Amino acid sequence: MNVTGDGARAVSMPVEEEIARELDALKARQRYRVLPDIGARAGRFIEVGGRQLLNLSSNDYLGIGADRELLDSWLQRLEDSGLDAPAFTSASSRLLTGNHPLYGELERAIAGAYGSEAALVFNSGYHANTGILPALCNRHDLILCDRLNHASIIDGIRIAEAEYRRYRHADMDHLEELLDAATGRYRQVFLVTESVFSMDGDLVDLRRLVDLKKRYGAFLIVDEAHGVGAYGPKGLGLSEELGLSGDIDIVVGTFGKAFASAGAYAVMRGIFREYLVNTMRTLIFTTALPPVSVGWSLETFRRQLGMQEARAHLRVLSSKLRDGLRSAGFDVPGQSQIVPVVLGEDRNAVAMAGALRQEGFHALPVRPPTVPENSARMRFSLRADLLIEDIDALVETMVRRRP
């Protein structure tokens, strides 16, 4: 029962009572989340709860988001070019009036960089992943999905009409078994994976995956959300690094992480772009990103193509942190700029995050259900503007404040 403003008793709805119980249970299990009080960001620092902390939790892997000079020069050009207030809204879907010329420019730049026939820009990685599979698959298809794929991929699979199975994380033998069992039973088998996994920071065995795709005639989709910017000579992802972009049917990249903007893209053959434009609900039924945002994506995309030094430094930082923590006895899986430190019980991760905060580091604990039970962890996401000394200080603090 609730008591209303005038003192009368109102019957609470069952859903509200159940929600209140669930929230209490989350609090009791230390899994209750609140939106943090984030203030100004300055370079590699971020203000959290009124304190300046070293930011070890952003996906701005190249530090482009903190590049004031780049932003100023772009704003100046924007002003000179006469793009004005309407550029801050598209005011409709791309299929209506929202298709500003900057979209075409950005898509040509992306397709050109990948050497691909076509590219298509979306409002976010979430839109891309919840739209592509539902558009391409029908009920005569099978989707095979890595067990640790991002929630947006899982949600896309849920919406799609196809059957689906999950293979053990990064286990290509298991995937091969499932492909064998599927032979001849479906119109098309789709394989979908991340390249750099967001929670374990490990990499898919892309060579083997491409080999399986070819042998079984499967359609391969690779989400490079955490690969672009960090991998490949031009920052086009692990697929570029391994020279395999041309063997993947759809490569998805996002602008909200290393490219310091908002939105996402997919590169593919022209026929698939044409089909997605005609059928993909998360492209058709949403207001397009504002031109100002698309223009900034073009700017950061072009800029990052030449940021080899930053990519090399990011690798040095990642190896140094991993090596330092491993030699101190921490369980540190993976091999990328995402560095998880598995601490087991939820409370260990929460305590470590608190200790690091006291010492000036902002990094978040990741708990189930985002990761499997008893594998709560700290997750560091490194950025190329960090210094070697930052990593030394972090390792020293982790060792000293170990739970």
Ligand X SMILES: Cc1ncc(COP(=O)(O)O)c(C=O)c1O
* Residue span binding ligand X (CB under 6 A) among the ranges 105-113, 125-133, 312-320, 383-391: 125-133
Residue number with CB closer to ligand X (264 or 307)? 264
Instruction: Let me know how long the chain is.
Output: 403
Q: Does 229 bind ligand X (CB under 6 A)?
A: no
For residue 146, what are its two tokens?
């890595």
338 in contact with ligand X (CB under 6 A): no
The nearest distance, CB 82 to ligand X, in angstroms, is 29
Query: Please, are residues 135 and 280 in contact by the beta-carbon 8 Å criterion?
Result: yes
Counting contacts by CB under 6 A, is residue 58 touching ligand X? no
> Does residue number 223 form part of the binding site for ligand X (CB under 6 A)?
yes
Distance CA 94, CA 96 (A): 5
**Which residue in 57, 58, 116, 129 binds ligand X (CB under 6 A)?**
129
| Residue selected from 225, 258, 288, 338 as contacting ligand X according to rule CB under 6 A | 225
DSSP summary character for residue 145: E
Q: Tell me how far, at minimum, the Cβ of 265 lies from ligand X, in Å.
A: 10
Q: Does 264 bind ligand X (CB under 6 A)?
A: yes
By C-beta, is 194 or 249 nearer to ligand X? 194
DSSP state of 196: B
Q: How far is the CB of 249 from ligand X (least distance, A)?
A: 17
The DSSP H or E segment spanning 18 is helix 14-28
One-letter amino acid at 86 equals P
Nearest partner of 194 among 139, 154, 242, 241, judged by Cα? 154
Q: Which of these segments, 37-45, 219-227, 348-356, 368-376, binds ligand X (CB under 6 A)?
A: 219-227
The backbone torsions φ and ψ at residue 89, rounded to the nearest 5 degrees and listed phi first, read: -145, 150
Considering the rule CB under 6 A, would residue 194 count as an interface residue with ligand X? Answer: yes
Beta bridge partner(s), residue 253: 265
Classified as helix, coil or strand, 402 is coil
Question: Could you tell me the two tokens for 104?
Answer: 């075409």
Cβ distance to ligand X smaller for residue 126 or 231:
126
Query: Which CB sits closer to ligand X, 146 or 390?
Result: 146
- Tokens 């701005």 identify what position? 60
- Helix/strand/coil for 38: strand
Q: Pick the stretch among 48-56, 81-89, 124-132, 291-299 that binds ligand X (CB under 6 A).
A: 124-132
| Residue 256 interacting with ligand X (CB under 6 A) | yes
CB nearer ligand X, residue 152 or residue 348: 152
Pull the structure tokens for residue 330. Answer: 């921490």
User: For ligand X, how many residues bind (rule: CB under 6 A)?
Assistant: 14
**Helix (H, G, I), strand (E, B), or coil: what is residue 288?**
coil
Q: Which of 126, 167, 186, 296 binds ligand X (CB under 6 A)?
A: 126
Q: At what angle do helices 388-400 and 346-358 cross, to 10 degrees?
A: 130
| Binding site residues, ligand X, CB under 6 A | 124-126, 129, 150, 152, 194, 198, 223, 225-226, 254, 256, 264
